[in-house]
Structure 1
């Protein structure tokens, strides 16, 4: 996600010389400098120099990163955290007073500027901080403000959501091959079907149930397929899967 955010900001017009990237691995640092023309520095130097810090780290690494940069933070800075399950309270308890925190749940379509990010303010945030976070995340897609209590559910729906879509696409392609289609043909058919269906949802504003019913003729092929999905409790499986993702997000916040 860090590189997705960086490349999106540059595509949106940010000047490379206004960005600092924290990266400990020398080979990776050189790769980023060569590819994007940005300056790669230590986490400490980034904390000392930047007004806004985007922390794109694994949840289990957040404590160590905050411990490293805490002595170098100052009131008025903004931390934008993209770590799943890590609450603003967790971060605020480990940084100086007066440093604002915005928690973000992004997703991987940010790679193609079609991301969906939900942002939630910490206790020291004001409108200016939220607007700054919106501008930052808006470089890679859509941004929605939500109370932090909803972010575990957001993690389950949109944060992990692309994986569910890819899983369905993968399953449909394999079904196409099983039914005798060449793999390349099945792949093109499925991907365009998903892209077109998503575009219909966005551009028509029609409820998905209505769109599904429009495709489902009585006693037809689609009705037969939907019946099998219902028999195998696919809808219930999606609910259980997203509850599991929500629960795991909550567990990450509790440190387990």
Structure 2
């Protein structure tokens, strides 16, 4: 994880959109010592502006053009379907100030973003996931050719506030990042639902089944991230020959779990490409 910059060295960051992801990033930045005065937020909903101001003491504005004043880093946290309109409103400022624009919108390419901001703009695509709301996310990053080393460092430092970051060299792979980690928490939630339901069918009280499934998933995730062993090794260590775990694993395998997961990730990847194509000029 990056070390926080000294307040005097830190760029002014403008958040365009003040929803949950922006709130998580702002909270992470402030917790790591960022100067609230150097964080600016554009959010059209007054109640969200008021909450951000009250919680983090950051300057908040109703319009994007006000928020980006003096900002070298723009974090675009608006819905994909309104991204083009928002960028169009900022084209003149982007061309004058040449910021690095960081987008957390799925399916919008760096070329599209740069073009919508007038062209030749440094763009970083970021795909965080919802555990970022708890400071436990992971973010895939891709930078276009206009992005210099300093801007890459600024982007990574900002997203590091909610979890580790990984750089992707080929932008096409960002759709796979979205499919694996961006959408991935929902896969885990679905597994938790299935485990809970199965436990209830075996006679467990619903609250007990929920607690057992949730804590088991948490513990397994900690083992995956904190132990220096890959998933297949950990799986084999808890699968005793002829035991209960082997009976369950064999059922998963014979039922085609691996193939089903592969099809699901492929479907999510292809959907990301469709969303990108739908936004083409």
> Which bin holds the TM-score, normalised by the shorter protein?
over 0.9
1:105-163 Cα offsets, whole Å, 9 max, x none, are: 11111112111111111121111110000100011110111122211110100111111
- For residue 231 of structure 1, report the CA deviation from its aligned partner: 2.7
Pick which of 20-29 and 201-210 moved more.
201-210
Q: TM-score, normalised by structure 1?
A: 0.94
- Residue of structure 2 in register with 1:58 after alignment: 79
Q: TM-score, normalised by structure 2?
A: 0.86
Output the CA distance in 1 between the equivalents of 2:39 and 2:189.
33
1:203-242 Cα offsets, whole Å, 9 max, x none, are: 2221211211222222221111112212321211111111
When the two structures are aligned, how many residues end up with a matched partner?
256
8 Å contact kept, 1:118–1:154: yes
Structure 1 residue ranges without an equivalent (≥5): none
Pick which of 17-26 and 226-235 moved more.
226-235
1:68-104 Cα offsets, whole Å, 9 max, x none, are: 1112222431111111011100011122455311111
Output the CA distance in 1 between the equivalents of 2:246 and 2:233.
14
Output the CA distance in 2 between the equivalents of 1:108 and 1:12.
20
8 Å contact kept, 1:75–1:98: no
CA RMSD of aligned residues (A): 1.5
Output the CA distance in 2 between the equivalents of 1:234 and 1:157.
16
Q: Aligned pair 1:2/2:22, yes or no?
A: yes
Output the CA distance in 2 between the equivalents of 1:101 and 1:207.
34
What SS does structure 2 have at the residue aligned with 1:103? strand
- For residue 248 of structure 1, report the CA deviation from its aligned partner: 0.8
- Residue of structure 2 in register with 1:184 after alignment: 207
Output the CA distance in 1 between the equivalents of 2:99 and 2:230.
42
**1:140-159 paired onto structure 2 within 5 Å:** 140-147=162-169, 148-159=171-182
Output the CA distance in 1 between the equivalents of 2:68 and 2:40.
10
1:165 to 161, 185, 188: 188
What SS does structure 2 have at the residue aligned with 1:115? coil
1:128 to 150, 155, 158: 150
8 Å contact kept, 1:106–1:118: yes
Structure 2 residue ranges without an equivalent (≥5): 1-20
- Residue of structure 1 in register with 2:259 after alignment: 236
1:180-211 Cα offsets, whole Å, 9 max, x none, are: 22222222222221121122222222121121
- Residue of structure 2 in register with 1:226 after alignment: 249
1:117 to 139, 143, 153: 139
